[in-house]
Structure 1
Amino acid sequence: MTRAVMVMFDTLNRRFLPPYGAEGIHAPNFTRLAERTVRFANCYAGSMPCMPARREIHTGRYNFLHRSWGPLEPFDDSTPQLLSESGVYTHLVTDHQHYWEDGGATYHNRYDTYELFRGQEGDPWKGHVRDPEMPPKVSRRAGKTVRQDRINRSYYPTEDLYPQTRTVSAGLEFIRTNAAEDSWFLQIECFDPHEPFVSYPRHRRWYREDGVDTGAEFDWPDYARVAEEPAAIEQARDEYRALLTMCDTSLGRVLDAFDELNLWEDTLLIVCTDHGLLLGERGWWGKNVQPWYDENIHTPLFVWDPRTARTGESVDHLVQTVDFGPTLLEYFGIERPSDMQGIPMGPTLAATAPARETGLFGSFGGHVSITDGRYVYMRACATDANEPLFEHTLMPTHMATRFAPEELRDAELVAPFSFTKGVPVLRAPARAGANPADFGTLLFDLLTDPDQRTPLVDDRLERKMATLLVEQLRAADAPSSQYERLGLPETGEVGEAHLLAARQAPRAREAAAALPTRERVARDAPGLLAPLGDLPAEAFDDPVVARRAPMLADPAFRRDHADASVYDLALTHPMITADALEAVGDVVRRTPARA
């Protein structure tokens, strides 16, 4: 028999897993998993974040160079569909709500059957006209998604009703129903431990006394700089740990089924994630705003292949998310489409040769990064404008909305790419969600600096890594606009003129500095905590403001953010660094207050 199971957890940070060296985490089933599988020490995600990663699993191609978050395109190969067309039954169980939003609605339909479990995060699930009661909380998050999340939580007061539990139960039902059948692939995909970090007392007890928090809730950090006190930071991490422990319990249920039904004999098992999460490290919460540091992009991966039956081993081979789809096709003996860039991991497990020499990763309009397993090169844009940038798509939707008409007014149909099967695509001007210029180009040596604290300035090494990056851009048939945005050659060799690390090093150093605490700002520059609308407009006419925080010099921006303070804006806008905040504080302090 030939069967396969993929268990995918969203936002699984490898640094919180015991098999990867974490301490103080109750996750016995991840330890048990590592004893039965091969643990990959050098797995990297590729296209970020959630749905771009899933598009990689389907297509075996990087996609962040051509478009942002969106559905499968009409020209995309889909691994589950290819399996199905070759006689392998495919089934998806998931509580990942992005599948039924505008930007994910073409993925689950590629499986033969699927079960979707509602209620995670702000999933528009249960309808309440009256606003729910909101508990005191540390996070500044507000709005429609937070309101809906609070409503959703009221429908799973006990663990058996929780979406993760129901998802895994459905997966186990499929396994038991089809245990005697051949040729099937099951994907058990859990949204957890993605935020909000909802768990139950029996999981929290490992980290918080009695498993109950009596103070302000902090299970959903803002995607922002850290401004909380150490106790609050640890509270949020404990909430993540508790949810991870709940995920470990679910993983144990799957492993129990493998033991009971002896699926180890003939069933491939892949346990993976899409990305990690910053939990206060580097002075940040979350992802997307900052470069894709190790905590977010260097992911856990466990694989059991019954053909090689390797257990309890760790391998250093470099692999990526784009390799998952090709791995499944190879396992079932199905030929890979020529457009797939991913490399099957099966032959890698059967031999000692590495599958790939480099791994490409990034998000649309952000840093474009590459690693060879030792060095990581994060290439920022060549200028602060971060342009040109275009969406290339035939499915103009964002995460939860369609493209607005104004986004399409200047769109045009352009020639096919090598992987669009002769189909032209729509090219539309785009804007990135974050500007990599705020952090600069970064180069790290993971052997001597595994926590990526000391960026290197080494022209010879940068040229080598930039050359590897250009090779991958060309292999991916990246649009010409990406080369121009990044300041890299579309043809020819990388030269001294293309290097950015030394030129952008001052920006990188400034971006790495932590903001002062709110208490210090209240003492030294209280005007930075006042709403923008209450501050004298003359302060923002000062050339220092225009130079150090140009967004504050824009009257329209100040009108749109009149209720926010400069400090609050600095938490979410990396352009306003600690040095810039101090400079703006000096200007505000010396500007006469309004009469």
Structure 2
Amino acid sequence: MRRMTHALLILVDALRADHLGCYAGEDRGTPNADALAGEGVLFRNAVSQASWTRPSTASIMTGLYPSQTGLGGKWNRTREGRLRTRTLDPSIPTLAELVTAAGHATAFVGGNANLKPLFGITRGFTHNMWRSTSDGAVAAEDFERWLLAERPESSFCYAHFMDVHNPMPAGTIPARLDTGLDLSLVEESSQELMNYYAAAVRRADEHIGRVVRALKRARTLEETLIIVSADHGEELGEHGGMLSHGRTLYRETLNVPLIVRLPGGAFAGEEVYEPVQCIDFFPTVLEQLGCPPADVPGRSILPLIRGEEADGGAAFSEYLKPHRYGQSVTTRRHQYVQDYLLEETRTGSPDDLRPGVCVAVKGQPIRGGRFMATKVLIEDPEDEPTLSGVVDGVEEADGSVTVMGIAFEVDGATRFVTNDGSALSLGALEAGDHVTVDFATGPDGLRTATKIRRKAAGGKSKIWGPIEEARDLGAGLRSVTVLGMDVLIDGNVKVRALKNGNREERRESPVERVLAGDFIEVGRELYDIENDPLEARNIVDERPDVAQQLEETLALWTESLEGRSRTTTGDVDVDPETMEQLRLMGYVE
């Protein structure tokens, strides 16, 4: 007869380790997590394998690194405005599948849209209770109801709480995760935003307490391995981002809390300073439940707790963007980061901005009918011109709409849709609406809208089209005219350019490209995380010995990924409901 045993994984989305009292060394209003730390083992150097939810949770549920799951990238938007993204390949077994196959009950509760069954990360749970909510109380209630109704003999449950991911009372500003929250779009100061974050951490702690109380009511607490952690951390201004993640590999987004309470409270009060990885949760749960081990790079942390292993080795993390690939290795004292600029893009310059060149410019309108750029990308000249911004006015009788000072004719062929794909009419638009306009310019110079899509308010505006005129204004300031609007570009704005056409034409994995030397340049950063936990000073030039050693460590790790890194998995068109859920979380505009 199999012994009664359980494993519970609690992930608090975007939770920083330093916001729990047990890590901060002071009262942070988190008594439930602190109590578990007192009854369990506290890991001071736990590292996520990615700095945003989809790749990090995919690594946790497969025991593989992001490049091995193929889920490191984000979204591709079709010309019709739909999202297309990758799902977890069915050939990759998930933790839930292995545990279920071994005869244990399995359950998932949570609300992050990245964890919908659509994407495959939570594949294999016999009870998948995903809900579209950021209120962790709902997930805690679902767990309590399932546990007390089912009372399984042995089980694995994964609870994902979203309170900290969306800490602002008024909701999320769209696209904040890519660039950080634009403080000009909110009324709160940086300190007020951090207060919101701290309050959300306290709410999440209440849900942890409710879950533990449910285990006590079910009389399974002393037979349960409890892992409390996060999928990633959060930027709070350390490196230029506020309430953002997924864009860097700095400590604030990778160093996650890790509290492990063993059955019976074994090894209570112990602390571990050696690095461990979130992919280690996979083999840890398998060992706890007596399941056969799996061939994955993650390793169980139970031998480390029992003192059967001397150290946790090194921890590795990755990120992937269309033009960049980042790697990080963390040891007990140092973090070393390498950032590769891949071949699809090259660093452009203001001199590249000439008449006839097609650009995609993100930024915001300013006084005088002008536009201040924050990002400029030289695009494929065959792409249709597009404008994304706020409606100034609608003339239904004349059949025209004006967006950011640019007028468009509307005819019977113009399509009107909402962000979720529902039909719309010109009369339903009004000043202040945020829209995206696709259009064509006739021989008479008039612009006719081919499609107008109303979006939610907020986010950056965008102009996408050919440069009509370029001027050097002096003092590092340039002006280009796009779609008849003057766009100002100062010396701090980075200009990037696609190389050899569409960024999606190349399908090799970033690992293969790094090993082949197929990149333009590589940036290197080294931080002493013991003495500089906020990573304010890059010491790569001061400590070339450490940098070289960790660069060699990364090279060996990269070689170990060769042949196991995936460039393709199953693709899926994201439905309008899921698109809206992702938008509310800040993942898409």
In 2, are the aligned partners of 1:196 and 1:220 still within 8 Å (CA)? no
Q: Does the 8 Å CA contact 2:6/2:154 hold for their aligned counterparts?
A: yes
Give distance in 2, aligned partners of 1:114 and 1:92.
5
Q: Where does residue 164 of structure 2 map in the other structure?
A: 193
| Alignment correspondent of 2:444 | none
| Residue identity opposite 2:205 in structure 1 | D
The one of 517, 534, 539 aligned to 1:451? 534
**How far apart are residue 282 of structure 1 and its match?**
3.0
Distance 1:298 1:462 in 2: 20
User: Percent identity, aligned pairs only?
Assistant: 22
The answer to which of 350-359 and 314-323 deviates more is: 350-359
Q: Distance in 2 between matches of 1:361 and 1:235?
A: 31
- Which AA in structure 2 matches 1:32? A
What do residues 225-278 of structure 1 show as CA deviations (whole Å, max 9, x unaligned)? 677499711111111111111111111111222334442321111111100101
TM-aligned CA deviation for residue 448 of structure 1:
2.5
Q: Does 1:380 align with 2:394?
A: no
Number of residues of Structure 1 aligned to a counterpart in Structure 2: 385
Are residues 409 and 452 of structure 1, via their aligned partners in 2, closer, same or farther at CA, if it must alter by over 3 Å?
closer
Cα distance, 1:39 vs structure 2: 0.9
How far apart are the structure 1 equivalents of 2:122 and 2:133? 17
Question: Structure 1 220/243 Cα, relative in aligned 2: closer, same or farther at 3 Å?
Answer: farther
Of 197, 204, 207, the residue aligned with 1:250 is: 207
| Alpha-carbon distance change, 90 to 480 in structure 1, aligned in 2, over 3 angstroms | closer
CA distance in 1, matches of 2:200, 2:181: 21
- State the distance in 2 between where 1:313 and 1:55 align: 29
CA distance in 2, matches of 1:40, 1:445: 18
Deviation track 1:449-471 (CA, whole Å, cap 9, x = no partner) reads: 22211111132221100000011
Amino acid across the alignment from 1:265: E
Match of 2:108 among 92, 103, 108: 92
Deviation at 1:49, TM superposition (A): 1.5
**Contact conserved, 2:51 with 2:246, CA < 8 A, in 1?**
no
Give the Å deviation of 1:479.
Answer: 8.1
**How far apart, CA to CA, are the structure 2 residues paired with 1:308 and 1:95?**
30
Supply the AA of the counterpart residue of 1:464. Answer: Q
Q: CA deviation at 1:311?
A: 1.3
Q: Tell me, which stretches of 5 or more residues in structure 2 are unaligned?
A: 75-85, 347-419, 422-500, 514-518, 568-589
Identify which of 247, 253, 258 aligns with 1:301. 258
Instruction: Give 1:166-205 correspondences, 5 Å limit.
Output: 166-179=138-151, 181-198=152-169
- Paired residue type of 2:115: Y
Contact 2:287-2:300 within 8 A present in 1 as well: yes
Gap runs ≥5 in structure 1: 121-162, 199-216, 388-399, 419-426, 428-434, 483-595
1:237 aligns with 2:253: no
The structure-2 alpha-carbon separation of the partners of 1:296 and 1:478, relative to structure 1 and needing over 3 Å to count, comes to farther
- In structure 2, the CA distance between the partners of 1:226 and 1:272, relative to structure 1 (3 Å rule), is closer
Residue pairs, 1:273-288, within 5 angstroms = 273-288=230-245
Tell whether 2:299 aligns with 1:343.
yes
Aligned counterpart, 2:312: 356
Residues 265-321 of structure 1: per-residue CA shift (max 9 Å, x gap): 211111111001012223321445653111110110111122771212221132111
Contact 2:12 2:164 in 1 (8 A): yes
Which residue number corresponds to residue 396 of structure 2?
A: none
Q: How far 1:411 sits from its partner (Å)? A: 6.5
- Report the TM-score when normalising by structure 2: 0.59
- Partner residue in 1 for 2:73: 68
Match of 1:370 in 2: 329
Given that residues 325 and 341 in structure 2 are in contact (C-alpha distance below 8 angstroms), is that contact kept between their aligned partners in structure 1? Answer: no
Q: What code does the residue aligned with 1:316 have?
A: Y
| 1:466 matches 2:551 | yes
Deviation of the 1:77 alpha carbon: 1.9
**Residues 145-165 of structure 1, C-alpha deviations (whole Å, 9 max, x = no match):** xxxxxxxxxxxxxxxxxx321
Contact conserved, 1:218 with 1:236, CA < 8 A, in 2?
no
The alpha-carbon distance between structure 1 residues 383 and 308, as it changes in their structure 2 partners (threshold 3 A), is: same
Asked if 1:320 corresponds to 2:277, the answer is yes
Instruction: Give, in whole Å, the separation in 1 of the partners of 2:566 and 2:220.
Output: 48
Per the TM alignment, residue 11 of structure 1 is displaced from its structure 2 partner at its CA by 0.5
Separation in 1 of the partners of 2:25 and 2:235? Answer: 15
**Root-mean-square deviation over aligned CA pairs:** 3.5
Q: Which SS does the other structure have where 2:123 is aligned?
A: helix
Question: 1:20: Cα distance to partner?
Answer: 0.6
CA distance change for structure 1 residues 371 and 116 in 2, over 3 Å: closer, same or farther? same
| Conserved? CA contact 1:15–1:295, under 8 Å | no
Using the TM superposition, name which of 279-288 and 41-50 deviates more. Answer: 279-288
Give yes or no for the alignment of 1:16 onto 2:19: yes
Q: Report if the CA contact (8 A) 1:62-1:322 is conserved.
A: yes
Q: Secondary structure at the match of 1:174?
A: helix
Q: Deviations over 1:10-41 (max 9, x none)?
A: 10011111111165632221221211211111
The residue type equivalent to 1:173 in the other structure is R
Q: Aligned-pair distance for 1:382?
A: 6.0
Structure 2 CA distance for aligned equivalents of residues 479 and 327 of structure 1: 22
In the TM superposition, 1:432-451 aligns within 5 A as 440-451=523-534
Aligned CA distance change for structure 1 residues 363 and 22 (closer, same or farther; 3 Å): farther
**What is the aligned partner in structure 2 of residue 41 from structure 1?**
44
Give the drift of 1:481. Answer: 12
Aligned mates of 2:520, 2:148 — CA distance in 1: 48
Shift in Å, 1:361: 0.5
SS in 2 for 1:40: strand
Provide the rounded CA distance (Å) in 2 between the counterparts of 1:119 and 1:436: 42
Does structure 2 conserve the Cα–Cα contact (< 8 Å) formed by 1:318 and 1:358? yes
CA distance in 2, matches of 1:278, 1:480: 28
Q: Secondary structure at the match of 1:282?
A: coil
Relative distance call for 1:377 and 1:478 in structure 2 (3 A) is farther
What secondary structure does 1:472 align onto?
A: helix
Tell me if the contact between 1:226 and 1:283 (Cα under 8 Å) persists in the aligned partners.
Answer: no
2: CA distance between counterparts of 1:119 and 1:259? 26
> Is the 8 Å Cα contact of residues 137 and 207 (structure 2) preserved in structure 1?
yes
The answer on 1:265 being equivalent to 2:222 is: yes
Separation in 1, partners of 2:10, 2:246? 28
Structure with the higher fraction of residues in helix conformation: 1
Partners of 2:504 and 2:73 in 1: how far apart?
Answer: 18
User: 1:56 touches 1:321 (CA, 8 Å); kept in 2?
Assistant: yes
Q: Which residue of 1 aligns with 2:130?
A: 116
3-state SS of 1:381 partner: strand
2:249 maps to which of 260, 275, 292: 292
In the TM superposition, what is the alpha-carbon distance from 1:111 to its structure 2 partner?
0.9
Helix, strand or coil for the counterpart of 2:87?
coil
Please say if residues 48 and 64 of structure 1, whose CA atoms lie closer than 8 Å, have aligned partners that are also in contact: no
Is the contact between residue 3 and residue 266 of structure 1 (CA under 8 Å) also seen in structure 2? Answer: yes
